[in-house]
């Protein structure tokens, strides 16, 4: 099952994939932020996708049986379906180049105490009861960096720039390595030490499921970002000695 980047009418990000915490609560990753930030623009496997917009093969939908009727009339049916998909051996994928404007809360309001909206609380209890064993493996609420995708073995890769794989041998080599890392199941975060978003090469990496860190914000805040997040990576691969000396040592 695949789903898009959801945005508010004001242009802010509403969801770049959904997170399910180990207590059964759900979060819309990136809600309210700038939808153009790198962390919201690479293809990735996620916990769930809001049913405001999903795409799935009819045969798979019928095999699973659609939404579980115990979640009628609304809420948690999409989250539950994502868990059912994984139980059948499928994946839930976020596709950032698909963008849908969504008016969140218009149908049933946002007051949890009455109307259909109250089923958000009722169905949460049903969801927790149904998936209590699976929820043990979800991240603890607040650990957003690890929970934003389902990549548990992470590798941090640094090179001089985004590889122009059709321009020179060095770039081709880096591109091959990145593909190998993905093929063996690693979640790749790539940092070009010039922080430039070189196209179409950056988008090619993002569409392959590789996170690419670029732009003014990362250039200014990369040291703090690394201090906070580098501990979550199992591997680090350097091809840029300059960045290694200036930032990581």
Domain boundary among the residues 111, 146, 181 is at 146
Please check whether residues 227 and 179 belong to one and the same domain: yes
For position 240, what pLDDT does the model report? 62
Q: What CATH number did the domain enclosing 203 receive? A: 3.40.50
Edge to edge, what strands does the sheet with 235-238 contain? 211-212, 187-192, 154-159, 235-238
**pLDDT > 70? residue 247:** no
Residues 142, 157, single domain; the answer is no
Check: CB of residue 175 under 8 Å from CB of residue 164: no
Rounded Cα distance between 44 and 52, Å, is 18
Which of 91, 126, 146 lies at the terminal end of a domain, its last residue?
146
- 169 and 128 within one domain: no
User: Quick one: 46 and 128 in the same domain?
Assistant: yes
Residues 195 and 111 in one domain: no
Q: How many domains does the chain have?
A: 2
Vertex 54 angle, CA 115 and 47, to 5°: 85
Q: Which of 146, 165, 199 is the last residue of a domain?
A: 146
Mean pLDDT of 156-176: 94
Residue that the structure tokens 């919201």 belong to: 40
Q: Render pLDDT for 95-104 as a digit per residue (tens, 0 to 9).
A: 999 999 998 7
CB 157 within 8 A of CB 230: no
Q: Which residue range forms the structural domain that includes residue 205?
A: 152-248
Q: Looking at the structure, do residues 122 and 184 belong to the same domain, yes or no?
A: no
pLDDT band at 248 (very low <50, low <70, confident <90, very high): low
Q: What does the mean pLDDT of the chain come to?
A: 93
Q: With contact defined as beta carbons under 8 Å apart, do 22 and 139 qualify?
A: yes
Residues 142 and 156 in one domain: no
38 and 110 co-located in one domain: yes
Give the H or E element holding residue 77. Answer: helix 77-87
Q: What is the pLDDT of residue 104?
A: 77
Spatial separation of the C-alpha atoms in residues 121 and 144, rounded to whole Å: 22
Per-residue pLDDT reduced to its tens digit, 113-151 = 677 889 899 999 999 999 999 999 999 998 999 999 998
**Pair 17, 94: CB distance under 8 Å:** yes
Same domain as 164, residue 132:
no
Measured CA to CA, the distance from residue 127 to residue 79 in angstroms comes to: 8
**What pLDDT does residue 241 have?**
64
At residue 206, does pLDDT exceed 60?
Answer: yes
DSSP state of 55: B
Burial of 218 (0-12, 13-18, 19+ CB in 10 A): middle
Which DSSP letter does residue 100 get?
E
Place of tokens 């691969």: 237
Q: Give this prediction's pTM.
A: 0.91
């Amino acid at each position: 099952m695949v789903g898009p980047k959801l945005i508010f009418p004001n242009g802010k990000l509403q969801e770049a994939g959904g997170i399910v915490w180990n207590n059964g609560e759900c979060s819309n990753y990136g809600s309210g932020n700038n939808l153009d930030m790198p962390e919201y623009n690479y293809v990735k496997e996620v916990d769930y996708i809001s049913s405001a917009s999903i795409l799935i093969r009819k045969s798979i939908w019928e095999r699973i049986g659609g939404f579980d009727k115990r979640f009628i009339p609304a809420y948690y049916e999409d989250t539950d379906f994502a868990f059912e998909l994984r139980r059948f051996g499928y994946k839930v994928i976020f596709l950032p180049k698909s963008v849908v404007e969504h008016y969140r809360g218009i149908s049933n309001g946002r007051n949890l105490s009455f109307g259909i909206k109250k089923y958000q609380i009722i169905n949460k209890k049903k969801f927790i009861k149904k998936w209590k064993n699976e929820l043990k493996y979800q991240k603890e609420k607040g650990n957003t960096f690890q929970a934003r995708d389902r990549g548990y073995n992470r590798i941090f890769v640094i090179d001089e720039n985004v590889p122009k794989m059709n321009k020179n041998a060095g770039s081709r080599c880096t591109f091959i390595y990145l593909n190998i890392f993905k093929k063996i199941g690693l979640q790749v975060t790539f940092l070009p030490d010039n922080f430039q978003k070189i196209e179409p090469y950056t988008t090619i990496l993002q569409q392959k499921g590789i996170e690419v860190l670029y732009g003014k914000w990362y250039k200014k805040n990369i040291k703090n970002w690394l201090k906070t997040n580098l501990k979550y990576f199992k591997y680090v691969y350097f091809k840029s000695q300059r960045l290694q000396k200036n930032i990581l040592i």
